[in-house]
Structure 1
């Protein structure tokens, strides 16, 4: 696994994403866990989303919807390190794919639907 260095800029971007996700999950029983190179949000002990370095959002989705969801802006198969794909049901969404609150809320809702 590649070493990643967190700079103030990447930390600030990730921290801003963390706060936005927290706001969307407010009122739910959420446990925050450091994993996957960032802060993961667990609902009912299942990972829903994670805010990773450089503001990337890791999203757990229904594997049957993966192809459909990969067509959305900023979405790609999630990887560990630089090149090891995490497999079906794991997507990474770059900043442009969750730049506004509507886009981010959509990704969080997709993850919550799968978690249910």
Structure 2
């Protein structure tokens, strides 16, 4: 199942050109990484972001934002956006900023 490359391009533009920012094909889509740590990505099931465990409850209170599930397992610290929420540029920017701030505090992966 293919992913929406135009929406992935929007995420790419939102994350910008941070030093240490990279991309990797994963989960049938594209993941964005900062110093090897996953920030978020876009795949066949839509967008996911990594605002971290502390910020996660605030984002989950917003319509269109749901917990990130991998099969039956909840990936804490990650959230998924439905298509309507993804179209909200302000929300995307808030999630982008929260994800960048959270992941910048993690040790780099080799």
TM over 0.5: yes
Q: Which runs of 4+ in 1 moved over 6 A?
A: none
Deviation at 1:36, TM superposition (A): 2.8
Equivalent positions of 1:102-113 (< 5 A) are 102-113=90-101
Give the equivalent residue in structure 2 for 1:39: 30
Give the equivalent residue in structure 1 for 2:108: none
Equivalent positions of 1:1-116 (< 5 A) are 5-6=1-2, 11=3, 14-29=4-19, 30-54=21-45, 56-81=46-71, 84-116=72-104
* Structure with more of its chain in helix, by fraction: 1
Deviations 1:30-87 (A, max 9, x none): 2111113310000111110101215x11111221222221011211111124xx1333
* Structure with more of its chain in strand, by fraction: 2
CA RMSD of aligned residues (A): 1.7
The TM-score with structure 1 as length reference comes to 0.77
> Structure 2 stretches of 5 or more lacking a match?
105-110
What is the total number of aligned residue pairs between the two structures? 103
The TM-score with structure 2 as length reference comes to 0.81
